[in-house]
Amino acid sequence: MTEELKRTPLFEFHKENGGRLVPFAGWEMPVQYEGIQKEHLATRSGSGLFDVSHMGEIRITGPEALEAADYITTQKVTDLKEGTSQYNLLPNHSGGLVDDCLVYNFEDKKDYLFCVNASNTEKVWSWLNDALKLEEKFDIVLWQDSTEWGQIALQGPTSFTILDKINPEVSSLKNFEFKTFKLFNVECVVAATGYTGEKGVEIFVPWNETNGVWHGLLEQGADLGIKACGLGARDTLRTEVAFSLYGNEIDDNSNPFECRLSWAIDLDKPDFVGKAALLKKKEEATKKLVGLKLKARGVPRHDYPVYQNLEEANPIGVVTSGTHSPSLDIPIAICKVPKSVQYGDELFVEMRNRRVAAEVCKLPFYKATPT
């Protein structure tokens, strides 16, 4: 029997406004409305509005919430000030990754929210409860907050101009800060975070109020180039700025030191899950992620093999993410290759039984213009 797909509070909007709905991580989500390229470029030049209510929220509260949060992550949650958030990794005992996430400090030492990938929400929940038995180790309460919140991402150079029309106080937020603001008379948690490389926010809205805030943002942004965007543009945007996607660049078995994530691992912090394994993985790392700019048309897909030359029988690497970049108008790929590969080298991606030449380049492919 097919499992019934979950729906966000914005499902009716997606259906009524031309959203092409697809199954994603157990949810029925819009992949696009007007087209991925239009939505992508609107986010780069104006603003894109994304329904990300499918993301998971897991909360740790109690007298030892800080100790528990620091134990399950690779970065020092002890450095996280109240009202700020932090990109972090949830390692397993073998040094792979259960997930990557954002951690929000709602109350210093007592209340931390983990925003995890939709595809991993139940896995993370099981990991914390069944594998780590976190509530037995620490004096905490562990609970899922996912059904309480809708989540909206407003991303792009005009995002704060739109927000200024609604509540000028939001402009005071700095990167990775968050605060409760009233938007359209609704108490929302607004965080200066995002997954597109552009300036913007992610807004946590009480589930039943999500529609009102969404429609209000579209109305206020109508003269500033706002567009409703689907998961397709979200993926092309994050690929251009080389943000990791769980299941592509990282997974349960990956070596995070080969995935441009060494900056998110503090091996000097006191004992945490997987620390011994990560120390070993740092020494064992033999590969790295690089960019590829293809020299012919075609879309390089996840898991396509990458070769040193046209004749070689065995691939030296693999595409982790690839797309046609709307911003650069060329095919691009993130690729895992041996450390010996140099920028400027020519490699070949095998696509549909042909090998396409590509130039190795630094990541990211695209950097947003500061606003």
Quick check: 116 and 56 in contact, CB under 8 A?
Answer: yes
Fold (CATH) for 11-52+148-240: Gyrase A; domain 2 (3.30.1360)
Q: Which residues, 6+ apart, have CB-to-CB distance to 41 below 8 Å?
A: 326, 327
pLDDT of residue 368: 82
The pTM (predicted TM-score) of the whole model is 0.97
Q: Where are the domains of the chain?
A: 11-52+148-240, 286-371
How would you write the pLDDT of the chain (371 residues) with one tens digit per residue? 457 999 999 999 999 999 999 999 999 999 999 999 999 999 999 999 999 999 999 999 999 999 999 999 999 999 999 999 999 999 999 999 999 999 999 999 999 999 999 999 999 999 999 999 999 999 999 999 888 999 999 999 999 999 999 999 999 999 999 999 999 999 999 999 999 999 999 999 999 999 999 999 999 999 999 999 999 999 999 999 999 999 999 999 999 999 999 999 999 999 999 999 999 999 999 999 999 999 999 999 999 999 999 999 999 999 999 999 999 999 999 999 999 999 999 999 999 889 999 999 999 999 986 55
Fold (CATH) for 286-371: Elongation Factor Tu (Ef-tu); domain 3 (2.40.30)
pLDDT of residue 146: 86
pLDDT of residue 1: 44
Quick check: 343 and 290 in contact, CB under 8 A?
Answer: yes
Do 11-52+148-240 and 286-371 share a fold?
A: no
pLDDT of residue 370: 59
pLDDT of residue 145: 85
Q: Which residues, 6+ apart, have CB-to-CB distance to 240 below 8 Å?
A: 197, 325, 327, 328, 332, 364, 365, 366
68, 71, 80, 218 from 137: Cα distances, Å: 8, 10, 22, 46
